[in-house]
C-alpha cells in the first residue's frame, strides 16, 4: 500500500491486569473531560511516549500542568512490568500493572483502556481498530484496517474489484463486507487472522449493507432478490431468513440496537430518506425525529445513541440522538465539506466518519461531547465507509 495512505498521528489505549480500588470521582465527573498531569514513565523511554500519546488521543483527558490538574498519572517499568498509578494530590487512587509485551504500544493501549474502565466504567478506545474502504483504481476499492489513531494501516482484501461497506463481527477477528464481482454482488465474511473468506449471501440482485447482530448470530442486510429493495435478517451460520419490510420504497443501511431486539434503517417510504426503527420480528415500525430534510447512514452505540448523516441546504453533516435522554444530541459537525458514514467508537463518545472536500475523502474522528474533530488518515485517493470495532 505504498504511496496510498499518509497517516496523521492520533492515539491508542487498552486493558490489562487490574486491582481492587477506591476511586474518588464524583458522578458528575464521569460526564466530563478530566484534567490530568502525566508525570512520565520511568525506566522506558518508548513506553513513556506511547502512554503519553494514548492519554492525549483517547479523548477522555485534558493534559495540563501539575499545578492545574486534578489527577496525575505516573508510570514505572521494573522487572519487565509496567505499572501506571493514578493519584489525586497525595492520595493514590489505584495502580494497574501489565507485563511489557514485545509490542510495547499494545502494552500502553491495554493499560490506558484499563484506566478508562476504572474511571468512567466504559470500554476504552485504544485497543480498538477501524475498517474502511479505500479507492485503489478506477471502479476498484479494497478494505483496509488501522489502529484507532490511524496508525498501522494494513490491507485486508485483494479482490481487484469493489469491496465496500465493512462491518465487524463481535469477536473483532472478522469483518463482513459487500463485494462486486462479474456484475454480481455478494456479502462476504473475511477472517483477519486466518485470511480465509466465505460468501454469506449470493442472491440475485442486491446483496448489500451487511450489519452483524451484537451476539454475532444474525446478519441484517438489503436484498432485492424479487426485484424489490427490502430489509432482511438471516442467520450467519444457517439458511433461515426473515423479511422485515415489503413495500415499493427503497430501504438501506441497517444497524442493530445494543440489545439486538431492534434495527434502525433508512427508508424513503415517505418521500425523502428518513430513519426508522423496527423490531426484529417485523413489528413496531416507527419513524425517528431527525435533523435536516434527509437522514441516512445510522449507527447505534452501545449506550443507546444513534448517530447519522443529516442533509440540509449546506450539505451533509453528522448528528446524533440520545434515546436515553441523557444528552441533547443534535448536529456535531459544522465545517466545510460533506461529512458522511459515521460509526461509534466502543466508548460511546467518539465517532469516525468520512469528510469529502473537493471530491477527496479523508477519515476524521469526532468528539460528540465537545464537537471537536481531528483528521486521522488522509490519502492520495478517497477513503470511505469507516466502521469502528469493539476492543480486544
Residue 61 half-sphere exposure, CB side, CA atoms within 13 Å? Answer: 32
Contact 384, 368 (CB under 8 A): no
Q: Show contacts of 293-298: CB within 8 Å, 24+ apart.
A: 295/266, 295/319, 296/252, 296/253, 296/266, 297/253, 297/266, 297/340, 297/341, 297/342, 298/253, 298/255, 298/264, 298/265, 298/266
| DSSP label of 206 | -
Supply 82's cell numbers: 509496567
Question: Which pLDDT value is given to residue 23?
Answer: 40
> What is the predicted pLDDT for the residue at 183?
86
Contact assessment for residue 156 and residue 131, using Cβ atoms and an 8 Å cutoff: yes
The secondary element (H helix, E strand) that includes residue 54 is: helix 45-57
Rounded Cα gap, residues 202 and 82, in angstroms: 49
Q: Which CATH architecture has domain 129-388?
A: 6 Propeller (2.120)
Residue recorded with cell 439458511: 239
CATH of domain 7-120: 3.40.50
Residue 114 sits at the vertex; the CA angle it makes with 322 and 40, to the nearest 5 degrees, is 115
DSSP secondary structure letters along 321-339 = EETTSSS--EE---SSSEE
> What is the rounded distance in angstroms from the CA atom of residue 127 to the CA atom of residue 232?
32
**Residue 121: its pLDDT value, please?**
93
Q: Residue 216's CB: how many other CB atoms inside 10 A?
A: 15
CA atoms within 13 A on the CB side of 247: 9
The secondary element (H helix, E strand) that includes residue 109 is helix 104-120
Tens of pLDDT, residue by residue over 174-186, are 999 999 988 899 9
Which parts of the chain have pLDDT scores under 70?
1-31
Q: Which three cell numbers stand for residue 226?
A: 424479487
Closest CA to 385 of 262, 209, 200, 264: 209
Cα separation, 344 vs 206, in Å, equals 26
What pLDDT score was predicted for residue 13? 30
- Domain edges within the chain: 7-120, 129-388
**How do beta strands 140-147 and 129-137 pair?**
antiparallel
Assess whether the region 7-120 and the region 129-388 belong to the same CATH fold: no
pLDDT of residue 380: 84
The owner of cell 460468501 is 199
* pTM for the model: 0.90
Amino acid at each position: 500500500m505504498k504511496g496510498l495512505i499518509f497517516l496523521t498521528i492520533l492515539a491508542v489505549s487498552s486493558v490489562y491486569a487490574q486491582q481492587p480500588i477506591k476511586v474518588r470521582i464524583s458522578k458528575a465527573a464521569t460526564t466530563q473531560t478530566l484534567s490530568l498531569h502525566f508525570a512520565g514513565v520511568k525506566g522506558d523511554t518508548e513506553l513513556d511516549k506511547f502512554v503519553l500519546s494514548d492519554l492525549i488521543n483517547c479523548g477522555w483527558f485534558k493534559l495540563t500542568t501539575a499545578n492545574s490538574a486534578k489527577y496525575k498519572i505516573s508510570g514505572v517499568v521494573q522487572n519487565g512490568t509496567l505499572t501506571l498509578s493514578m493519584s489525586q494530590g497525595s492520595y493514590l487512587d489505584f495502580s494497574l500493572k501489565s507485563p511489557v509485551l514485545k509490542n510495547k504500544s499494545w502494552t500502553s493501549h491495554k493499560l490506558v483502556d484499563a484506566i478508562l474502565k476504572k474511571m468512567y466504567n466504559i470500554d476504552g478506545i485504544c485497543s480498538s481498530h477501524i475498517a474502511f474502504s479505500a479507492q485503489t483504481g478506477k471502479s476498484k476499492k479494497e478494505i483496509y484496517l488501522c489502529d484507532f489513531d490511524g496508525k498501522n494501516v494494513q490491507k485486508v482484501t485483494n479482490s481487484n474489484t469493489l469491496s465496500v461497506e465493512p462491518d465487524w463481527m463481535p469477536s473483532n477477528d472478522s469483518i463482513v463486507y459487500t463485494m462486486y464481482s462479474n456484475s454480481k454482488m455478494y456479502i462476504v465474511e473475511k477472517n483477519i487472522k486466518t485470511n480465509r473468506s466465505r460468501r454469506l449471501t449470493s442472491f440475485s440482485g442486491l446483496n448489500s449493507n451487511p450489519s452483524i447482530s451484537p451476539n454475532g448470530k444474525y446478519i441484517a442486510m438489503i436484498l432485492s432478490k424479487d426485484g424489490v429493495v427490502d430489509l432482511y435478517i438471516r442467520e450467519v451460520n444457517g439458511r433461515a431468513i426473515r423479511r422485515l419490510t415489503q413495500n415499493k420504497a427503497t430501504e438501506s443501511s441497517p444497524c442493530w440496537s445494543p440489545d439486538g431486539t431492534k434495527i434502525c434503517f433508512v427508508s424513503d417510504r415517505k418521500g425523502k430518506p428518513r430513519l426508522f426503527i423496527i423490531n426484529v420480528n417485523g413489528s413496531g415500525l416507527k419513524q425517528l425525529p431527525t435533523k435536516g430534510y434527509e437522514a441516512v447512514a445510522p449507527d447505534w452505540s452501545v449506550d443507546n445513541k444513534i448517530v447519522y448523516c443529516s442533509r440540509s441546504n449546506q450539505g451533509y453533516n453528522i448528528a446524533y440522538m440520545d434515546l436515553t435522554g441523557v444528552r441533547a444530541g443534535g448536529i456535531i459537525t459544522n465545517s466545510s465539506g460533506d461529512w458522511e458514514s459515521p460509526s461509534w467508537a466502543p466508548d460511546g463518545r467518539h465517532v469516525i466518519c468520512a469528510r469529502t472536500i473537493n471530491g477527496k475523502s479523508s477519515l476524521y474522528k469526532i468528539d460528540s461531547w465537545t464537537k471537536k474533530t481531528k483528521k486521522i488518515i488522509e490519502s492520495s485517493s478517497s477513503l470511505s465507509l469507516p466502521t469502528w470495532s469493539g476492543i480486544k
